[in-house]
């Protein structure tokens, strides 16, 4: 009889959802386990729309984001948050789901899922192992407030592992597998010449890729965009705005008025990995998903300020590992772009550091760990 694995996430945490979907896809392809994917938000007494509005509001205000993130590292607040999440999500519908599925393991890509799993284990509703996948380049108290209930922690890197060890978590429970990513998106890239032709780019200058952040809260990125393009550096710049249609229109208008022709402005695209594959350097705010993709694709970065407090920790990790350069201020970004062109060793040095990164193949490693542990029983 196949072992049963439940993978849980929340709708409003994009990185957590992405990791859950990647794990589910990989496990489905192997067809070794019976796997169920659960969006915990659907079982909350408060609607997903409510949570989305709250988190979007927080993330668009830097000071508020830092304040909330500070609370996340408070032990008392962590315990209160655990109680709140259990009270919010525990209901007969969710209980029936878990009783009927009866998982042998729950993989939680959001701490709320691990709280519910631990709570139901304590009540005897289920009896399963719990794996928490920390989907950031750092951790906070909310990930570890229920550490005694967790059997496995999967983390992004050795820095997070050391933090957990200092938090008195058994190092034998911690695995530095990296943050899950869909490897098929990288292994099935299109030919470079095809991509260049697709976007009408001549292969005569370095290609810089600039991610704008994709939402209204990142309109400040326009100042960084202007600072670079007005210098008319000998680069081909691809600027991706995501769903921020106002920013896209603003950038296109600026390019037209100033007759700037070496810049392509894109809205939402599913072609990110192909575009990244032809790029020499990525300019971005330090969002965990984008940085995880850059690490996987071995792409050096220049990091502009983010708004979310978590992004400060992501930037610290990237710069400490020498995968990226951090800037604050639009003019400083333009200056760093200039230096990267004048001194190629800057980019090459980051590429060399990235080539040594071995915290990859997260889905495969998670699968093999689970398979090995189940086979020992």
76-101 pLDDT, tens digit each = 777 888 888 898 889 999 999 999 99
Per mean pLDDT, which range of 40-44, 69-73, 138-142, 346-350 is the poorest? 69-73
Phi first, then psi, for residue 5 (nearest 5°) are -125, 130
- Kindly report the pTM of this predicted structure: 0.84
Task: Fold for 4-179+361-375, please state it.
Answer: Rossmann fold (3.40.50)
Q: Residue 72: pLDDT band by 50, 70, 90 thresholds?
A: low
Fold (CATH) for 184-355: Rossmann fold (3.40.50)
pLDDT, position 19:
93
pLDDT reading at 131 higher than 70:
yes
pLDDT at res. 64: 63
What pLDDT does 54 receive? 62
User: Distance (Å, rounded) from C-alpha 141 to C-alpha 333?
Assistant: 34
Percent of the chain having pLDDT more than 90? Answer: 64
Structure-block tokens of residue 15? 């990185």
User: Whole-angstrom Cα distance, residue 37 to residue 11?
Assistant: 12
pLDDT at 48 over 60: no
pLDDT in tens, 172-230: 999 999 999 887 777 789 999 999 999 999 999 999 999 987 655 567 899 999 999 99
Q: How far apart are CA 4 and CA 14, in angstroms?
A: 25
- Whether 283 shows a pLDDT value over 90: the answer reads yes
Among 114-118, 230-234, 239-243, 357-361, where is mean pLDDT lowest?
357-361
- Helix intervals (H) in 278-329: 288-297, 309-320
Task: Kindly report the average pLDDT of the chain as a whole number.
Answer: 88
pLDDT bin (cut points 50, 70, 90) of residue 238 is: very high
Q: What is the pLDDT of residue 358?
A: 67
Please say whether the beta carbons of 289 and 136 come within 8 A: no
When pLDDT is cut at 50, 70 and 90, the band that residue 359 belongs to is low
Average pLDDT over every residue of 22-34: 94
Q: What pLDDT sits at residue 36? A: 97
Confidence (pLDDT) at 194: 96
What is the DSSP pairing of strand 207-211 with strand 174-175? unpaired
For 23-50, what is the mean pLDDT?
A: 86
Query: Which range in 6-20, 109-123, 183-197 is most confidently predicted, on average pLDDT?
Result: 109-123
Which stretches of the chain are DSSP H helices? Answer: 14-30, 48-59, 62-72, 75-89, 92-101, 111-123, 141-144, 158-166, 184-187, 192-198, 221-229, 245-257, 272-277, 288-297, 309-320, 330-342, 345-355, 362-375
For residue 185, what are the CA distances in angstroms to 16, 101, 167, 195, 301?
18, 31, 35, 15, 20
Over residues 247-274, the pLDDT tens digits come to 999 999 999 999 999 999 999 998 999 9
**Residue 362 banded pLDDT, cuts 50, 70, 90:** very high
Rounded to 10°, the helix 14-30/288-297 angle is: 50
Tell me, what's the pLDDT at 56? 60
Tokens of 42: 């659907």
Q: Is the pLDDT of residue 280 over 60?
A: yes
Domains 4-179+361-375 and 184-355 share a fold: yes
**Which band of pLDDT confidence, cut at 50, 70 and 90, is reported for residue 47?**
low
Is pLDDT larger for residue 208 or for residue 373?
Answer: 208
Q: Domain coordinates of the chain in residue numbers?
A: 4-179+361-375, 184-355
């Amino acid at each position: 009889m196949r072992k049963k694995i439940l993978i849980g996430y929340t709708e409003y945490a994009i990185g957590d959802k992405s990791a859950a979907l990647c794990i589910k896809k990989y496990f489905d392809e192997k067809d070794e386990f019976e796997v169920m994917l659960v969006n915990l938000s659907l079982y909350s007494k408060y609607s997903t729309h409510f949570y989305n509005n709250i988190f979007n509001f927080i993330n668009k205000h830097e000071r508020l984001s830092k304040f909330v993130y500070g609370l996340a590292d408070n032990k008392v607040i962590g315990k209160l948050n655990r109680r709140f999440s259990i009270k919010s999500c525990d209901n007969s519908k969710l209980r029936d789901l878990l009783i009927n599925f009866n998982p042998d393991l729950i993989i939680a890509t959001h701490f709320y899922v691990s709280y519910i799993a631990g709570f139901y284990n304590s009540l005897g509703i289920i009896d399963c192992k719990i794996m928490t996948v920390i989907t950031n380049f750092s951790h906070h108290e909310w990930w570890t407030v229920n550490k005694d209930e967790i059997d496995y922690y999967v983390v992004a890197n050795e820095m997070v592992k050391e933090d957990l060890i200092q938090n008195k978590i058994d190092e034998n429970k911690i695995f530095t597998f990296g943050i899950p990513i869909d490897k098929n998106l990288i292994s099935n890239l299109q030919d470079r010449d095809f991509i260049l032709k697709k976007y009408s780019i001549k292969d005569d200058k370095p290609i810089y890729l600039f991610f704008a952040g994709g939402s209204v809260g990142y309109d400040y990125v326009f100042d960084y965009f202007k600072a670079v393009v007005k210098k008319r550096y000998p680069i081909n710049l691809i600027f991706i705005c995501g769903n921020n249609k106002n920013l896209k229109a603003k950038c296109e208008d600026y390019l037209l008025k100033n007759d700037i022709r070496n810049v392509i402005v894109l809205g939402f695209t599913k072609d990110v990995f192909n575009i990244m594959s032809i790029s020499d350097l990525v300019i971005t705010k330090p969002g965990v998903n984008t940085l995880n993709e850059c690490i996987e694709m071995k792409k050096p970065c220049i990091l502009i300020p983010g708004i979310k407090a978590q992004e400060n920790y992501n930037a610290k990790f990237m710069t400490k590992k020498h995968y990226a350069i951090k800037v604050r201020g639009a003019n400083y970004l333009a200056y760093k772009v200039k230096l990267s062109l004048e001194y190629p060793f800057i980019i090459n040095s980051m590429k060399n550091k990235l080539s040594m990164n071995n915290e990859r193949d997260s889905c495969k490693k998670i699968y093999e760990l689970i398979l090995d542990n189940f086979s020992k029983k």
